[in-house]
Amino acid sequence: MMPVFKNINIFFEKECPLISGEGGSGFFSTIAFVTFLLLIGVALVTLYNVFVKNEQGIKAVPFAVKILTGLSNVPII
């Protein structure tokens, strides 16, 4: 036989500690999030190139050869 329990109600009040406009909802947060997504994309493509296409070295990283070639042409002051 199962014992009978009385229902109880528990209430709590939630308070938001952030002031309106705080909490990373700005331009910087958007740029940081997009940069994070791009880095994840580059990492996934690099892993695909290494493990599926069997590419080695810098060729496995997308756009790395073009970026490094362009940076090598920049004159140093």
DSSP character string of 43-76:
HHHHHHHHHTS---GGGGSTTHHHHHHHHHTSPP
Kindly state the helix (H) or strand (E) to which residue 28 belongs, with its residue range. helix 27-51
Model pLDDT, residue 46: 94
List the pLDDT tens digit at each of the 77 positions of the chain: 667 778 888 888 887 766 665 555 678 888 999 999 999 999 999 999 999 999 999 889 998 989 889 988 888 87
Identify the pLDDT of residue 76.
Answer: 83
CB 68 within 8 A of CB 58: yes
Which amino acid would we find at residue 59?
K
Domain boundaries, the chain: 31-72
